[in-house]
């Protein structure tokens, strides 16, 4: 650092870049944690600044901060929230002190320094990062609150709308392909026929259940630890701070936040984040299933199934001209795998609550928000770039369907399993349509066999 200024904290003086809004405690964290070079997610930081704004407004209302100081903090927060390069003011590594104290103090210092610059306050009347910006708060309730609030915002604004969009695209596509009948597959082997819309309808039902599960977690993730301060007792906070803060944050975000009935639990554990991560992982499993189905259906186009053709988005090979790959399902499958890995890290993090505090909070926050972002974007991409635009290769569907000996299953109630098995084996061996073999090996008339073995009829649900 060539141009610096001297800042001080409870441990003494330290040189800080002259143009930095942060102070000594942030600089110590920069020096102490040169681990990944990754900063806390932008969504987390924006939510943290919004929480500081809500805290100032709540303290103003409760008269634990004078109006002038509270207004200065609010104005500084508003300036930061309008800053497109917000992360430049928050250089602390994700892998830092487990409570996230470094990030909390980073925010306190930036907001205090900016408030003082904007208000032209002198030393004796300056906004203080601890006494004012952090009034009635502790890193131990601020960071868990930011985890919950940022996740709640992302669920409301990104993930649930993205799932809904994908469901709508699938449902629309299903309606347009309902006339196509295809060979069903179990164990990747030929099975009884299904309609194309039934296959897509299964995807839609899976996603609807995942959305229902995630929605059921919203009340828990919208419950906040704020007001518990250091260990859950609420020391140094106004008795009404928790409720006033939650109400204020709700007004600022448009999301109904509530104070925790038991702050001890939300400070010492991250059970709700672990549960939410598990639900997002489950959604990732669904997306991977859909992606792999699409890859198989698109495989070929000559040596694979070739049932559908996904939109051609880019050349598929640097050496094989004309090759086109299912790039969107592949990308979504990779994103889903990453979410599964994130969930494993969050699970380990959730186990790290020792007595009154969990000490893997920044890592949990980073991975949880990363998972929400990855899956939100994956839902939109898979719907818009793969499912919406695929075309059905009817000739390939019918070719496989007509020769499928498994259709003989429909004759079981009439001729018995053993006889049907003989017909299927001969059809396989002689590569003959099952209807021709059944006609030769039974006394059933051709017209009746045509009705019994009609693939489209066999796709009609029996209940």
**Residues belonging to the active site:** 187, 317
Beta strand 223-224 with 258-259 is: parallel
Contact 283, 371 (CB under 8 A): no
Spatial separation of the C-alpha atoms in residues 143 and 369, rounded to whole Å: 14
Reduced to 3 states (helix: H, G, I; strand: E, B; else coil), residue 306 is: coil
Paired tokens of 310: 């996904």
Reduced to 3 states (helix: H, G, I; strand: E, B; else coil), residue 357 is: strand
Contact 170, 206 (CB under 8 A): no
Spatial separation of the C-alpha atoms in residues 139 and 31, rounded to whole Å: 20
Residues β-bridged to residue 181: 195
Distances (CA, A) of 231 to 52, 113, 167, 225, 360: 19, 28, 43, 10, 16
- Dump strand ranges (E) for 117-250: 181-186, 189-195, 223-224
Beta strand 189-195 with 181-186 is: antiparallel
Other C-beta atoms closer than 10 Å to the C-beta of 159 total: 22
* Helices 101-119 and 24-32, axial angle in degrees (round to 10): 150
Paired tokens of 39: 């900063």
Contact 225, 268 (CB under 8 A): no
DSSP 396: H
Paired tokens of 269: 């554990």
Spatial separation of the C-alpha atoms in residues 113 and 419, rounded to whole Å: 86
Paired tokens of 120: 């032209």
Q: How many residues does the chain have?
A: 463
Other C-beta atoms closer than 10 Å to the C-beta of 66 total: 12
Spatial separation of the C-alpha atoms in residues 407 and 437, rounded to whole Å: 12
Paired tokens of 281: 């992982």
Nearest to 91 by CA among 145, 28, 134: 28
Determine which helix (DSSP H) or strand (DSSP E) holds 15, and give its type and residue range.
Answer: strand 12-17
Spatial separation of the C-alpha atoms in residues 1 and 439, rounded to whole Å: 89
């Amino acid at each position: 650092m060539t141009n610096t200024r001297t800042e001080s904290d409870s441990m003494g003086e330290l040189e800080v870049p002259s143009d930095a809004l942060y102070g000594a405690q942030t600089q110590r964290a920069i020096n102490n944690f040169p681990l990944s070079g990754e900063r806390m997610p932008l969504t987390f930081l924006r939510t943290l600044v919004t929480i500081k704004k809500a805290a100032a407004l709540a303290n103003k209302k409760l008269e634990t901060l004078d109006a002038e100081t509270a207004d200065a903090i609010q104005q500084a927060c508003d300036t930061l929230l309008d800053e497109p390069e917000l992360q430049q003011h928050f250089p602390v590594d994700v892998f830092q002190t487990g409570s996230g104290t470094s990030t909390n103090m980073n925010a306190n210092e930036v907001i205090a320094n900016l408030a003082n610059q904007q208000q032209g306050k002198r030393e004796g009347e300056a906004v203080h990062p601890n006494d004012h910006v952090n009034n009635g708060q502790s890193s131990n309730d601020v960071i868990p609150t930011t985890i919950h609030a940022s996740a709640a915002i992302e669920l409301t604004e990104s993930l649930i709308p993205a799932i809904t969009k994908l469901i709508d695209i699938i449902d629309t596509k299903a309606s347009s392909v309902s006339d196509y009948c295809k060979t069903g597959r179990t164990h990747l082997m030929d099975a009884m026929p299904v309609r194309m819309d039934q296959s897509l309808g299964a995807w839609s039902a899976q996603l609807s259940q995942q959305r229902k599960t995630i929605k059921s977690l919203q009340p828990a993730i919208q419950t906040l630890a704020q007001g518990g301060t250091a260990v859950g007792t609420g020391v140094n906070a106004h008795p009404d701070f928790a409720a006033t803060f939650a109400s204020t944050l709700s007004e600022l975000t448009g999301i109904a936040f509530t104070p925790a009935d038991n702050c001890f639990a939300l400070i010492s554990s991250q059970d709700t984040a672990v549960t939410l991560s598990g639900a997002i992982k489950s959604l990732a499993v669904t997306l991977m299933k859909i992606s792999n189905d699409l890859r198989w259906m698109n495989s070929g186009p000559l040596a694979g199934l070739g049932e559908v053709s996904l939109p051609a988005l880019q050349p598929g090979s640097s050496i094989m001209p004309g090759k086109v790959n299912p790039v969107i399902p592949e990308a979504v499958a990779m994103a889903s795998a990453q979410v599964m890995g994130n969930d494993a890290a969050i699970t380990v993090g959730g186990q790290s609550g020792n007595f009154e505090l969990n000490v893997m909070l920044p890592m949990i926050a980073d991975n949880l928000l990363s998972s929400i972002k990855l899956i939100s974007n994956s839902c939109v991409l898979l719907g818009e770039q793969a499912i919406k635009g695929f075309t059905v290769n009817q000739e390939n569907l019918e070719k496989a369907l007509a020769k499928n000996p498994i259709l003989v299953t429909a004759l079981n109630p009439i001729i018995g399993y053993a006889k049907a098995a003989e017909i299927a084996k001969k059809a396989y061996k002689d590569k003959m349509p099952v209807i021709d073999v059944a006609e030769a090996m039974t006394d059933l008339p051709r017209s009746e066999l045509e009705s019994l073995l009609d693939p489209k009829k066999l796709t009609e649900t029996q209940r």
